[in-house]
Chain A
């Protein structure tokens, strides 16, 4: 499949809009070419390339809405998909909370495309896997991993004159390295939109070093520890917390940002002074589309937490109208301010603590306090007098990211990390946090 050009998608969106007889029409053209390679037990297990292009048409008659999609682009097919959406809209029940399509938006382009990433081929993927496999064989270790790259286009238009088109590239690499006897395990994750910023050797070496260092872990008593959390250890925790930054949920009293008496914590200082978290589609390290793909509202920089204060909430179109405030675009990325300090510097400044490479299987225990549970995995170490002393067994934690962000002692330099179960590209720093709550031990390696 060839990735459609702006000219081609503009022609498609114009034709679709011209066929519509509904009160309003929204059209999205999405195309993607995703390549991947998976390896395990020091050999490639699967490799593939998936191409897909799709046109989605949503129309409305009054408060009745219908959506249809198709992957053919001739006029007959385009007209068919519009009629199909119209048929569905006529059948649909009225939605009292229906909101009309957005008026014309200004989309300021973000640098989401990189030619080198778009040019990734099977050879590049195979080489990435080979670096890890060969280095592991040399060290009598076992590699398992997954590399995936994507080249996507997104075009949006509606009957109010909205139009946007942008191409995006991305890559994501994870690698788990285990000792042959299963007594040690290390892991690495690298995400980028620019392939120039990805170094497969460097990544594999990190996982190898952690695997070798993690053999024969000692058991520490569960309890509260000072921890140095690498970005992959906090990314999902932050993501879960940010799901709660929703104005409607907050006003309805069912978010951790709801307060007694029906008020919200908007404007309250809920976190340590050092905490600044925002979304910015134009950030060069984690660029995302300049529009919210769900409602086509133009994205802007959005400061969610400023100097520890809850600064902004997400307002859907419906809730914004109800509250008389502007609707917001859902953030596509999450950025947290940091310093220039490396993780090594954070370790050097630590008298006693625990270094956590990543956290795993995180689930919400209590949304009232955003209490999350999960486990450390693939590289957990004890630190004493500024040095990594020895590997330790993994812990289960029960901790709220709100508490975590109140107990920050030191922040490092932000790095790019893709979300696993949370849908954000993130640029977040390693953090040194006191009194992190480990509640039990795990024998898992």
Chain B
């Protein structure tokens, strides 16, 4: 679920934006400084010792420094450049069978020891209300290790001027091509995360991520109509090299209707295409509602995977811990226990992982010190597993955690968060152009649009960015006012073809929301273009006033 996002393109109006600033604003040169690992270890040991001395049977410490840089532009103007920093320590303990958590930005020995003792005190208080003691799956201490996002170019070292000029160039390209208005942004993230626990792990991680979204809006004042087309990039777990466009990373969508991107992104080229597309949308044919075979590009399908597979297979939702906010799940334990619940057609294989290079979820270890891995969620259409943390593993008979416990800052407690959840490529050789040939009456959808799903993840509705008619095996005219509605199990069982690994790529989100108080998380979802037969399409055009 993506809730309370800080970017709302097309929220209240086409192009409305809400951008919060997390942490303290700092100067650019301060981004490149870092606390020495030895100092972090010394601080962590203070917390571990204070917690065990106070009675904790287990303790983990997370020392975090979270850096962000936002660049916001509108048309040919740079509206805002902000560097932010947030640093502090979070201490989680188990004492008397209950959790306790406390956090502080006072990074003195006294401050950290105080937080550890406070966490133990909270655990002792919570123990009185605890009906079942916390049971942690074992983790073998790894000693002192480090992990870093593999990057070629550190965004922190790229001058702001260069980045701003790139965004303005994209805006200009979009406006020259037909957009009346352009908005583009650059979100850049560096997380310096140090984890230590009484299991004997001292893990230092340096994570980098970035995202360059934009929105092109075309207005026809004569008719009063306006339409938008958003960028087709994806947020990535990479360095600034993602914006150094390479020819080999460009692929043509089916029928050549769009250029799509894999490991690097040409924002200026995409903005130019978006300007053209937004203008064409003003006069595109309004869809005739009915049943269609849908051909969904990875840039679109990632969000459907996220909502209809990622969330319902989160074990905390299944168990009822999210009942008051995000909801529960239709994928109940009895369905998993039956070993025969047909989540999808036999073509559907869905894998969870935190290891794919370039993905948002790619880290070495989770926030419980568990080494990340890859595992099956749906195998040949059958539900075979969930996403579990250390305290949940035993519920589904697992000996170890899946490594998916994360917090969005040092000041929040870690809990179960979605790993990358991806649809595996088809086994038979198949390209998107070949897929089209077999479709009599269909719609090709590229890019993500509006999204909504019920609280148990049955009924959903999705829009998109670009819609093309498919008629008798050929891509036809552009369509508008398209949204499809379906039910999760019906939809995945209607999957009749998946393109091969040559077409496999990832989409993703910076803003997966969950928990109370809400925390955001990052996640990628990969797939190849996939076909779903007989899906209900509605027409979303309305007249008011």
Contacts and interface: CB of A to CB of B under 8 A. Distances in A.
A369 B181 CA distance: 19
A191 to B, nearest CB: 15
Contact of A254 (B13, B223, B332): B13
Nearest to A269: B545
Contacts of A30: none
A377 B455 contact: yes
A411 to B, nearest CB: 20
Contacts of A47: 122, 126
A262 B320 CA distance: 51
A84 B82 contact: no
A441 B227 CA distance: 29
B320 A261 contact: no
Nearest to B74: A97
What 5 A-B pairs come out closest when comparing CB atoms?
A243-B12, A442-B459, A444-B456, A144-B323, A444-B454
13 contacts: A38-B324, A38-B516, A41-B320, A88-B27, A243-B11, A244-B13, A249-B13, A260-B222, A260-B224, A261-B221, A364-B12, A443-B459, A444-B457
Interface string A235-257: 00000111110100100111110
Interface stretch (A67-75, A280-288, A343-351): A67-75
B396 interface: no
Interface in B343-392: none
Contact of B450 (A148, A175, A365): A365
Max count, chain B CB within 10 A of own CB: residue among A45, A92, A253, A421: A253
A439 B538 contact: yes
B95 interface: no
Given A36-B516, A47-B126, A68 B181 contact: no
A145 B516 CA distance: 9
Contacts of A145: 324
Nearest to A58: B25
Interface in B19-40: 24-28
A268 interface: yes
A110 interface: no
A396 B454 CA distance: 8
A367 B319 CA distance: 37
B321 A442 contact: no
Given A244-B13, A252-B219, 14 more contacts: A69-B24, A69-B25, A84-B26, A91-B81, A144-B321, A148-B517, A175-B324, A252-B181, A254-B219, A367-B226, A370-B544, A396-B485, A398-B540, A439-B538
A74 to B, nearest CB: 15
A403 B481 CA distance: 18
Nearest to B73: A93
B101 A46 contact: yes
A97 B78 CA distance: 9
Given A69-B24, A97-B79, A365-B483, A260 B223 contact: yes
B25 A444 contact: no
Contacts of B82: 67
A152 to B, nearest CB: 15
A440 interface: yes
Interface in B206-227: 217, 219-227
Contacts of B545: 265, 268, 270, 402
B16 A249 contact: yes
A403 B459 contact: no
B180 interface: yes
B341 interface: no
B411 A364 contact: no
A174 B324 contact: yes
A433 interface: no
A50 B517 CA distance: 11
Q: Give chain B's interface residue range (CB within 8 Å of chain A).
A: 35 or more
Contacts of A255: 13
Contacts of B13: 243-244, 246, 249, 254-256, 367
A366 interface: yes
Contacts of A367: 10, 12-14, 226
Contacts of B330: 443-444
Given A146-B516, A253-B219, A182 B129 contact: no
A386 interface: no
Contact of A244 (B12, B161, B217): B12
- Decide if the interface of chain B is mainly helix, strand, loop or mixed: loop
Interface string A124-156: 000000000000000000101110100000000
A443 B456 CA distance: 8
Given A366-B541, A368-B225, A375-B454, A68 B101 contact: no
A95 interface: yes
A362 B487 CA distance: 17
A403 to B, nearest CB: 6
Nearest to B168: A93
A361 interface: yes
Contacts of B321: 40-41, 45, 144
A394 interface: yes
B452 A363 contact: yes
A176 B221 CA distance: 47
- Of the listed residues B14, B323, B543, the one surrounded by the most CB atoms of chain A closer than 10 A to its CB is B323
A96 B461 CA distance: 41
A44 interface: yes
A43 interface: yes
A444 B329 CA distance: 9
A259 interface: yes
B114 interface: no
A95 B79 contact: yes
A71 B485 CA distance: 48
A390 interface: no
B324 A375 contact: no
Interface in B384-415: 411, 413
A445 interface: yes
Interface string A397-424: 0101011000000000000000001000
Contact of A36 (B223, B225, B517): B517
A360 interface: yes
A54 B323 CA distance: 33
A294 to B, nearest CB: 11
A88 B29 CA distance: 11
A54 to B, nearest CB: 8
Nearest to A84: B27
Nearest to A442: B459
Interface in B451-490: 451-459, 461, 463, 481, 483, 485, 487
B327 interface: yes
A270 B325 CA distance: 34
A182 B544 CA distance: 40
Contacts of A161: none
Contacts of A62: none
Contact of A240 (B11, B77, B129, B411): B11
B455 A440 contact: no
Contact of A403 (B1, B126, B542): B542
Interface string B510-545: 000000110000000000000000001010111111
A182 B26 contact: no
B160 interface: yes
A46 B483 CA distance: 39
Contacts of B420: none
A243 B11 CA distance: 8
B423 interface: no
B334 to A, nearest CB: 11
A91 B28 contact: yes
